[in-house]
Amino acid sequence: MLKADLARQYMEEYLKEVPNGVLTGDRLVDLIKLGMITDIGSLHQVNASSVDLRCSGRFFIEDAKAKHHTVTFSDTTPRAPKMVGKSPLVDLDPGAWCLGSSIEKFNIPESISGFVHLRSTAGRSGMDHAASGFIDPGFHDSNLTFEFQNVNQYHPMRIELGNIVAQVIFFKGEVVSPRYSYRNKGRYNNSKGTVEAIVSNPFN
């Protein structure tokens, strides 16, 4: 049995005894030790009911020099925005946005889902995070990609390697069947670092 499969088996056995609801401190530590989150810097990142996430320093911003086009999601002509890489930091002008990613890597069991939120200090400093920060059961062997925006009107914003600006909250629920698991139908599994939009029909 592969190491990842063995870790998933241990997590699934452990979770059988865990009631449904928000996962808190000691449960989060146990699941991290079992492999749900790897490459974590320290268990000090675990809070009462969330885990802090660090920026990897790999960013993408819109390419101002590229020939621009309309971003579309149609089945026949999907088109994502043109992006350019930045590392190990990015400076966002007011209103600008970027993609970033977590240093931490995730292997989510079939009964766990998660929500990614900003830390309150980041939000109070004028940062926003797109409402796409949901982690489905089965998301595996992947870093999380963030979507950050500077919503300040006058102040630029710098985000750089190691910044802790986001956190993830995990929920235990029913085990999903393989038919619905992100493990079998997700397009962003096995994501290494920051991943740009894969614009295509999700039902193909």
Residue 18 and residue 135 in contact, taking contact as beta carbons nearer than 8 Å: no
Report how far residue 169's alpha carbon sits from residue 165's, in angstroms, rounded to the nearest whole number.
14
Q: Return the pLDDT at 144.
A: 96
Given a cut of 50, whether residue 132 has pLDDT beyond it is yes
pLDDT of residue 1: 45
Tokens of 184: 């079998």
Whole-number Å distance between alpha carbons of 93 and 158: 9
Verify cis geometry, omega within 30 degrees of 0, for the bond prior to 19. Answer: no
Residue 203 confidence (pLDDT): 47
Structural domains of the chain, with CATH: 3-185 (2.70.40.10)
Evaluate if pTM is beyond 0.95. no
Residues 64, 83 contacting (CB under 8 angstroms): no
Mean pLDDT taken over the chain = 92
Instruction: Kindly state the average pLDDT of the residues 140-164.
Output: 97
Tokens of 10: 């241990």
pLDDT per residue over 37-96, tens digit each? 999 999 999 999 999 999 999 999 999 888 888 888 877 777 888 899 999 999 999 999
